[in-house]
């Protein structure tokens, strides 16, 4: 896990890496997508049931107010899990660039937290030693 500084409290938040998340269940690369995976075998589990020990999971409600959406932010991407009904979940693990686009498009992460994440990502992209 990679520590991340929380500027409001000057404490470090440990964020898992996508590799940490991938070790929790079987992930399958989405056809034609190099940076997105699904956890098909975990459809009957909430994200917290197989990856909850890795970090804080933010919970949201879909725009129609019916389905839950859970988000786990990783140091190099993150997981967005959608409740599809009937106790089933669609878990998608995405690398940083795609994850940032999805959380922004869906307006999921509170603006302060998203701003910090985007700033961290910008700083990472400017560091030539980093990889996405």
Token pair 């910090």 in the structure block, residue: 116
Bridge partners of 13, per DSSP, are: 4
At residue 8, the pLDDT reads 45
65 occurs within a structural domain: yes
Here the tokens at position 86 are: 């009937």
118 occurs within a structural domain: no
Q: Would you say residue 73 has pLDDT above 60?
A: yes
Give me the domain span that covers residue 42.
2-109
22 occurs within a structural domain: yes
- Cα(46)–Cα(29) distance, integer angstroms: 20
33 occurs within a structural domain: yes
Chain segment 9-54, per-residue pLDDT in tens:
445 667 899 999 999 999 999 888 788 999 988 899 999 999 999 9
Distances, alpha carbon 16 to alpha carbons 51, 83, 114, in Å: 10, 22, 17
Number of domains in the chain: 1
């Amino acid at each position: 896990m990679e520590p991340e500084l929380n500027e409001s409290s000057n404490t470090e938040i440990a964020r898992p890496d996508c590799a940490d998340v991938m070790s929790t269940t079987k992930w399958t690369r989405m056809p034609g997508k190099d940076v997105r995976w699904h956890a098909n075998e975990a459809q009957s589990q909430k994200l917290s049931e197989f990856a909850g020990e890795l970090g804080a999971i933010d919970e949201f409600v879909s725009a129609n107010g019916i389905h839950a959406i859970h988000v786990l932010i990783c140091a190099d991407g993150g997981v967005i899990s959608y409740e599809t009904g009937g106790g089933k979940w669609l878990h998608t693990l995405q690398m940083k660039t795609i994850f940032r686009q999805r959380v922004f498009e869906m307006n999921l992460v509170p603006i302060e937290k998203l701003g910090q994440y985007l700033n961290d990502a910008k700083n990472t992209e400017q560091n030539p030693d980093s990889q996405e």
